[in-house]
Structure 1
């Protein structure tokens, strides 16, 4: 080795070590590097070219079982959904499947846009179901159940037949039958697209709208007089979760609803923890209705009926408090009983 090669190697090694040390100490005292297992648990996105899609399969028949067990309570047996959620299926035709563009999206008089009308890539549907569904237990579905649920939704939209099995091997072919597969556009120039012929740039300058402005512009929302007092004072009907804001929507001169100034009796700490842990507070509150009845209403109607309430919590319920059903809750028997005892005792 030449006389200058050894010193050069030493300098290069020192530089590499120094860079590694600087990287390690970049956020000294703040957290730690994520482990490969932690990164893998979050790195589950599926791209439109199906990169990241795990191997597996699921049939329409299996998807119907999963749907009825875990999805239908919110989204309806046929994807029509209840009064809280938007419909998932509908508004598409066989002609749309052939053309790849949903005609009803061009209509201004169409009553609403379903998920299957707007969906342009199967990967989006598969990825969202895997990440977010069911809403009370996200990421709890197996890969087979995600394939099966996706297949069932596609069958409801007449994209695949009833005896179809969706898999990582045929999902690209299914993509070519999606009713709105040609619905995405890049003509806005926010990212490059084939339909852009020249060097287009996005319209973000806004020069055309920055003239003849008011001297003192004021942005505000307005509730027309005829809409006031339709549902009482909405400012007093906000959920007791997180920061909330609201305006007094009563008609002028209307008497304010009485508000109790007495401190509320605290709920049992163990029950409160269970309610938060199992997302019960997403639909229920202490003294007012959200999606479902308040704790106070349940406690008053079913006082002393702990066995009945525990069964309803675990098995689900429908038609008792309105048209929005409560899906079965994945609590063990002891936890369900603890909540039921608290409700049956008055939900203090």
Structure 2
């Protein structure tokens, strides 16, 4: 037993020594240096000179299959997009591909700006698709699928032919055909090194001033009632997704103008008679703990990227689904798992990668009323 105890102690001491050695020398006792494997998992960026681009290839035909299965529900079959996202394709011509400058970017009569009109580097397309798409499962595409989807998108814009196979070997040839490749300037010293710019002096040489600092300004102004809705309701002029939703300018600002009044609860501006009404006790939601577990699942699988609790985003709100399909847990589980289209509008929902048990958990929560 004594020999066994000594062996265990020796192993334990070696383990502690290994942890200590792995800790960061810059901040003793705090964390450890990342392993090469951990760094490689994050080091996935592809630069305009194609440094970082992995080996692989993908055809336009393969890209169409991947696109229709994983991309079209948000970006449209032909890159025209739907109700929420900006179009990816359109606004470029064969002449733009020759010159490398998109003429419609300076045409004030053209209705919008598509991705292929603006993006100057094919590496940007490849990198973004690789790290962020599809929206509900980022980084889930294989390297060859990223090449294929990029090839299909370029084909939609007339940049590569129908039979093209994009690869790390020929992507530089494609760069020479990007419609807005000459619309980007690098003469501003914002790149990390001299390989993209001849400018040696930075744009600015300001230094931080840490004396005689002016006090932080406090904004106390507000829109007067007569000007509040002068340009229409701001809430209706913004998309339903994103940080800026716009104030409802059809309604007057709360009484007692100023920042404090705007931030005050709406109930504070309600008539005293209404405030005097006894509060109706809220009905407790059934299965509070289960609701929290379900909400965690919605976050885990990015369901909230397309669905909100009580308003439409890309898809219907959870409250609307619960109202329309109350008690239909089995039906909802199938829809969640397999996806579908045509029930709530033109934008289809793709099949989801969650397990059967998780799909049933979310379906049961919806069928029971989608409690918070």
Name the TM tier (shorter chain): 0.7 to 0.9
Match of 1:225 among 229, 254, 266: 229
Q: Does 1:287 align with 2:274?
A: no
Residue 35 of structure 1 corresponds to 35
Residue 50 of structure 1 corresponds to 50
Residues 191-215 of structure 1, C-alpha deviation per residue, up to 9 Å, x if partnerless? 679897x87763788xxxxxxxxxx
Which whole-Å CA distance do the structure 1 matches of 2:47 and 2:196 have between them?
Answer: 19
Residue 179 of structure 1 corresponds to 179
User: Aligned-pair distance for 1:221?
Assistant: 7.8
Matching of residues 58-137 of structure 1 within 5 Å? 58-137=58-137
C-alpha distance 169-220 of structure 1, shift in aligned 2 (>3 A): farther
Moved more, 104-113 or 152-161: 104-113
Matching of residues 6-17 of structure 1 within 5 Å? none
Q: Does 1:343 align with 2:366?
A: yes
C-alpha distance 220-78 of structure 1, shift in aligned 2 (>3 A): farther
Which whole-Å CA distance do the structure 2 matches of 1:160 and 1:322 have between them?
Answer: 33
Residue 149 of structure 1 corresponds to 149
Which whole-Å CA distance do the structure 2 matches of 1:27 and 1:194 have between them?
Answer: 35
TM normalised by structure 1 equals 0.77
Q: Does 1:270 align with 2:293?
A: yes
Which whole-Å CA distance do the structure 2 matches of 1:27 and 1:200 have between them?
Answer: 34
Residues 218-246 of structure 1, C-alpha deviation per residue, up to 9 Å, x if partnerless? 697857324566869x9xxx99x9x9997
Q: Would the aligned equivalents of 1:318 and 1:324 in 2 still touch at CA under 8 Å?
A: yes
Which whole-Å CA distance do the structure 1 matches of 2:253 and 2:340 have between them?
Answer: 41
C-alpha distance 263-201 of structure 1, shift in aligned 2 (>3 A): farther
C-alpha distance 129-219 of structure 1, shift in aligned 2 (>3 A): farther
Moved more, 135-144 or 216-225: 216-225
**Aligned to 2:357, what secondary structure does the other structure show?**
helix
Residues 96-123 of structure 1, C-alpha deviation per residue, up to 9 Å, x if partnerless? 1111111111112211111111111111
Q: Would the aligned equivalents of 2:229 and 2:249 in 1 still touch at CA under 8 Å?
A: no
Q: Does 1:317 align with 2:333?
A: no
Moved more, 168-177 or 275-284: 275-284
User: Aligned-pair distance for 1:317?
Assistant: 2.7
C-alpha distance 59-220 of structure 1, shift in aligned 2 (>3 A): farther
Residue 203 of structure 2 corresponds to 202
Aligned length: 310
User: Aligned-pair distance for 1:190?
Assistant: 4.6
RMSD across aligned positions (CA)? 3.6
Residues 258-312 of structure 1, C-alpha deviation per residue, up to 9 Å, x if partnerless? 9988486335233222111111122223333333222222111111212211121
User: Aligned-pair distance for 1:331?
Assistant: 1.6
Where structure 2 has 5 or more consecutive residues not aligned to the other structure, the ranges are 1-20, 207-216, 255-265, 271-278
C-alpha distance 246-124 of structure 1, shift in aligned 2 (>3 A): closer
Which whole-Å CA distance do the structure 1 matches of 2:64 and 2:141 have between them?
Answer: 14
Q: Would the aligned equivalents of 2:70 and 2:134 in 1 still touch at CA under 8 Å?
A: yes
Q: Does 1:333 align with 2:334?
A: no
C-alpha distance 260-67 of structure 1, shift in aligned 2 (>3 A): farther
Which whole-Å CA distance do the structure 2 matches of 1:220 and 1:63 have between them?
Answer: 53
Q: Would the aligned equivalents of 1:82 and 1:324 in 2 still touch at CA under 8 Å?
A: yes
**Aligned to 1:58, what secondary structure does the other structure show?**
strand
Which whole-Å CA distance do the structure 2 matches of 1:225 and 1:281 have between them?
Answer: 31
C-alpha distance 148-272 of structure 1, shift in aligned 2 (>3 A): same
